[in-house]
A and B are shown apart, each in its own frame.
Chain A
Amino acid sequence: MASANDSRQSQKDAADQNFDYMFKLLIIGNSSVGKTSFLFRYADDSFTSAFVSTVGIDFKVKTVYRNDKRVKLQIWDTAGQERYRTITTAYYRGAMGFLLMYDITNQDSFNAVQDWATQIKTYSWDNAQVILVGNKCDLEDDRIIPTEEGRRLADELGFQFFEASAKDNINVKQVFERLVDIICEKMNESMDSDPNMLGNHKATTLQESPPSSQGGCAC
């Protein structure tokens, strides 16, 4: 849980209208692989081993600088449990990037990666970027999924790959930065090929664009 200060800071972040881009990101993966912890580590730099399952969907905002641009990240944290699937897939629309997460100590969460990838293909924008994240890499003794296996699967699926630990703060920031970078790259490619994509301007993003295009480029 965020402290009062954190949430005030987050509120400030959330209300901050001064940004160049806004990206909608989703974190998905099986139940208890560490999605919420990962987000808390990134957004609030906090970690707690207490487990409070996410219900439906949760939400955080963080603003970062990439290449001299202010990028506002709207990060959706989803519930991994199957029963919430109908709710959570409704949020895939308009997402520009996904963190698909598994737990390196949990074979099933890894086995499910393929299915999650199918979900992304089915429900999201074609150009959505995906990073496969093997979380809990601090638990080396309990590791079941070798790094190489993760990397191989990521290659197969055409995703970027990281192993990370929300607990020990390993690669958390890097994962998000990398995701922002590849979204930017993809966006530039698209803009080169289709200048009309530049539809959303800063002042009008929120009023006029449907949720699906909230991540649109504002430059």
Chain B
Amino acid sequence: KSKKASSFHEFARSTSDAWDIGDDEDDDFLGGPTLPSLPPPPPPSGHISSKVAVTTTNPAPHFQGWGREKLKTDGYQSNGRVVKSQSEAQLSTATGHTGNGASSGVPRTNQTCVTLTRVEAASSCSPGEQCPSECKACLIHSRCSAHKEAEWLPPVGSWRNVLKGPPVRNTLQKQQSLPLRPIIPLIARISDQNASGAPPMTVREKSRLEKFRQLLASPNTDLALRGVVARRLALVFQLLRERSDLKQRHQLPLSSAAPQWRAEELRKHSWSGIPREVRPITWRLLSGYLPANMERRELVLRRKREEYFGFIQQYYDSRNDEHHRDTYRQGLGVWHSFGSLSADTCPTELHILNCKGVTVYLKKPLLLPRQVNPGAVLVSVRAAVLHFLWPHCNRTHAVFERILFIWAIRHPASGYVQGINDLVTPFFVVFLSEFVEEDVENFDVSALPLDTQRNIEADSFWCMSKLLDGIQDNYTFAQPGIQIKVKALEELVSRIDEDVHNHFRKYEVEYLQFAFRWMNNLLMRELPLRCTIRLWDTYQAEAEGFSHFHLYVCAAFLIKWRKEILSMVDFQGLLMLLQNLPTIHWGNEEVGLLLAEAYRLKYMFADAPNHYRR
């Protein structure tokens, strides 16, 4: 069980190796002890690599990123020497991947068998050569590698400065490094529908991913486990071990580390973002779906998947049985007439059973006190799964339908509530991404082996269930969880930004008018999907991330727009703004900033109810 850091110092200490590899040179840059008001670490992201060779011979002339990144790119190209030494030192453990995006899923589990020369690695991602389809990514990537330390090693407290582009010294001499593989901007492509094109992956994201990949490529997997899952797990822990080694100079007794310790480590590192490659397995662990005890994992996974398909058999497959056909048909009427009753006449079980004279046949009456009817549940679920992702994939719709149906049937206190469908999507996409390299949003799952499809479905169901377990009062009658959190948000904002709070009061904007959706859908409707996935890395790493930390993220999100908010001088303008916040271009960097600010707010305000109170 994760324990929260009780002070910022603890937190900073416990997470510092997420972005600080422990080089001595960091120390003076850290600026002494950390201060309480400092934000937590930004996502560590950069990594030295042999690709600098490309960079230095191709000065970035048309870098598409944002201004400040361009600035830094120009400023740090001379660091190529570091790269050289790194890649030379680590050549023997190089990965064999050479830039074919479509095939990168295979070597991921088989990373230690091929040795590359530095030259090969350096040329592996030359724009337009071996990975023409990814050349834009490669271009950005090759440029970023030269200044990566500026991106991924901002010390505690100074990362705001880093983002403004201060000089940053190289801190990577001792960093283990492997020749890199090209980055597939998979997640960045799952862009909001409104995007005219996929936003470019930020430099930070790419270099961070690279670092993880390099570390993951270590051959030292001495954990005796079986199966793909086990191998991936071994890689995750290998990664953690290596990072700890770097930080703590081999002081930790890693080989004897207990599973609990590893789980803690995993949380700690995940807080600032999980690399895509290891995200599926890490999410399964963090959500509590997979047990910390490694020996039990394969067994638990198999049992849970079987259990899920047992539910399918029990509830879903029988929905059209002759005996239940009436249930299905009549259920529509019940659902809708029930749906139109007012709050004060909240129907009891009896109401439902006799609603408008419709007789409801219940297969599992004891399980279904309120939103009873499988047919009814199915109808509401079915409407919901016509989501804009996978618009043409019936198989995907069917998967979502089953997941939501089973969940709603098994959770009669809330039943299916609009918005819950959104919460399946990140899990589904992440688990699918284990098998699909690109174009996830249009991928037809039926192209995958049946077993794989079933595993993705079952895992998505269980992880979503785990998530919802923590926030079920968001979806029960009158949605008390949401009402409480919206009030808490209002209270919090009144303390942290009086101007914004008073501005809302002046123009009669109620928090419920915009923040309801923020709470109900965990900001999923406000952010591109890739950002939600990154956000959930942290939510799952943070104790009570979805139920509690989310509040501070919402507050930080609101304050992020304070300038725009204060410039709106009427009710309509404010509401239009708040319901259509321009996050379309957001990526990991913005989410990282948001989380840092949220952490700061939580640290300062969570246990200090009177702080700044007026």
Contacts and interface: CB of A to CB of B under 8 A. Distances in A.
Interface in A64-110: 72, 74, 79-87, 89-90, 106-109
Interface stretch (B236-244, B308-316, B496-504, B573-581): B573-581
A17 interface: yes
Given A15-B573, A53-B418, 4 more contacts: A15-B569, A30-B340, A32-B383, A112-B339
Interface size class of B (residues with CB under 8 A): 35 or more
21 contacts: A1-B193, A11-B576, A14-B576, A15-B573, A30-B340, A31-B418, A50-B388, A52-B388, A55-B418, A55-B419, A59-B572, A59-B575, A82-B341, A83-B415, A83-B417, A83-B475, A83-B477, A85-B342, A86-B479, A119-B340, A214-B508
Contact of B383 (A53, A85, A112): A53
A206 B340 CA distance: 33
A15 B507 CA distance: 12
B516 A108 contact: no
B363 interface: no
Interface in B525-544: 525
B475 A3 contact: no
B161 interface: no
A188 interface: no
Nearest to B332: A108
A48 to B, nearest CB: 8
Contacts of B387: 50-52
Q: Chain A, interface size: which category?
A: 35 or more
Contact of B337 (A3, A111, A118): A111
Given A57-B513, A87-B512, A81 B417 contact: yes
Nearest to A28: B340
A206 B333 contact: no
A10 interface: yes
B520 A55 contact: yes
Given A15-B573, A89-B342, A115-B341, A108 B336 contact: yes
Contact of A111 (B336, B391, B418): B336
Nearest to A79: B418
A189 interface: no
Contacts of A56: 512, 516-517, 520
A115 B340 contact: yes
Given A55-B516, A56-B516, A59-B576, A82 B338 contact: yes
A54 interface: yes
Nearest to B480: A86
Contacts of B580: 2, 7
B339 A54 contact: no
A111 B342 contact: no
B356 A15 contact: no
B518 to A, nearest CB: 10
B384 to A, nearest CB: 6
A175 interface: no
B516 A83 contact: no
B254 interface: no
Nearest to B386: A51
B568 interface: yes
4 closest A-B pairs by CB: A108-B336, A115-B340, A14-B572, A82-B339
A116 B340 contact: yes
Interface string B474-490: 01011100000000000
A57 B516 contact: yes
B577 to A, nearest CB: 7
Contacts of B510: 211
A204 interface: no
A58 interface: yes
B506 interface: yes
Given A85-B343, A108-B335, A119-B342, A51 B579 contact: no
A106 to B, nearest CB: 8
